[in-house]
Amino acid sequence: MTADSQILLLFGGVAALLVVATVIARLLRLRLVSGGAPARNSPGIENLNARIDAWWAMVALLGLAFLFGGTGVILLFALLSLAALREFLTLTHTRRGDHWALLAAFFLALPAQYILIAIGWYGLYAIFIPVYAFLLVPVIAVLRGDTHRFLERISETQWGLMLCVYCLSYVPALMTLEIAGFEGRQLLLIAFLVLVVQMSDVLQYVWGKLIGRRRIAPAVSPGKTVEGMAGGVLSATLLGAALWWITPFQPWEAAALAFAVTVMGFVGGLVMSAIKRDRGVKDWGWMIEGHGGVLDRLDSLVFAAPIFFHLVRYFWSG
């Protein structure tokens, strides 16, 4: 089976699942309305429909990017990084003296990172932000002479670059890996990673609603439970094993990688929730109806992508 056929089959399966979910959600809302109750009186059903509609849009966007190949995927994640970085830095403390440093973050570091990935320069894109941008941002800021809360302001900008640009860029960076017998199929690695991590989030939510009892970190994310986490991670691990046919991995290897990225995705979600709690907000933004902001959907992927990339590069890439 060719890579294009595998991608079409994978997206067709996802679309079929979304069709089923859409029909069920619409029937639930219709049943509520036919019973004489306004749909707005059941926020759970309305939220479910909004989430499913958002998933349709996100799957369509990813499919459109895949249609244009590597260039489309790099452009999509560069734009996602831009949106995520904006959401992150909107919640930080900035002053007039930070303007030039922020401009460098948005219009120098971010595009440079994705250009380096586009040309496949691993030796530089792997260290560009952690080393060069890490040093450049405070240098630019200090030249403005504003030392009020300087450490806090610079650290927040550096964190934003690391999470929203550097870590997220490892998703399209998967296309730069050279794996024997898997040439020209690297887009499928991206599909595997995104599907497993995102489905883990969904399955953790479902298992948590069904059997969740013991909260893991109630002060950080009250909705996350031991049962939800375990059920979601194990279910997504089985999903990863079932998707081995689109990867260069054996079923047990696909399961092991799926387990690693879903655990990282879970702890990533906790870290990002802690940041939101610190800032006193529920969501990073309102760009995606039913899901909050871009970072609310990418928080797990941000922590999972670099781990997945380096595991695959170390064990499978020549």
pLDDT value at position 288? 57
In a domain, 265, yes or no: no
Residue 287 has pLDDT above 70, yes or no: no
pLDDT band at 42 (very low <50, low <70, confident <90, very high): low
- Model's pTM, two decimal places? 0.90
* Residues 78 and 110: beta-carbon distance below 8 Å: yes
Please determine, for residue 174, whether its predicted confidence score (pLDDT) is greater than 80: yes
Instruction: Give pLDDT, residue 54.
Output: 76
Residue 107 lies inside a defined structural domain of this protein = yes
User: Does 199 fall in a domain?
Assistant: no
- The answer to whether residue 161 sits within a structural domain is yes
pLDDT (tens digit per residue) in 199-230: 888 888 878 878 888 999 888 888 888 999 99
Domain that holds residue 149: 68-176
In this predicted structure, the answer to whether residue 161 has a pLDDT above a threshold of 90 is yes
What pLDDT does 205 receive? Answer: 80
- pLDDT band, residue 36 (cuts 50/70/90): low
Average pLDDT rounded to a whole number, residues 36-56:
65
Question: Is the per-residue pLDDT at 6 higher than 60?
Answer: yes
> Would you say residue 52 lies in a domain?
no
- What band does 37 get if pLDDT is binned at 50, 70 and 90? low
- Number of domain units in the chain: 1
Q: Within a 10 A sphere around the Cβ of 22, how many other Cβ atoms?
A: 15
Note whether residue 75 is domain-resident: yes
In a domain, 268, yes or no: no
CA distance 81 to 111: 10
| 33 band by pLDDT with thresholds 50, 70 and 90 | low
Whole-number Å distance between alpha carbons of 196 and 64: 19
Question: Which residues neighbour 264 within 8 Å (Cβ) at sequence distance 6 or greater?
Answer: 300, 303, 304, 307
* Residue 115 within a domain: yes
Higher local confidence (pLDDT), 227 or 29:
227
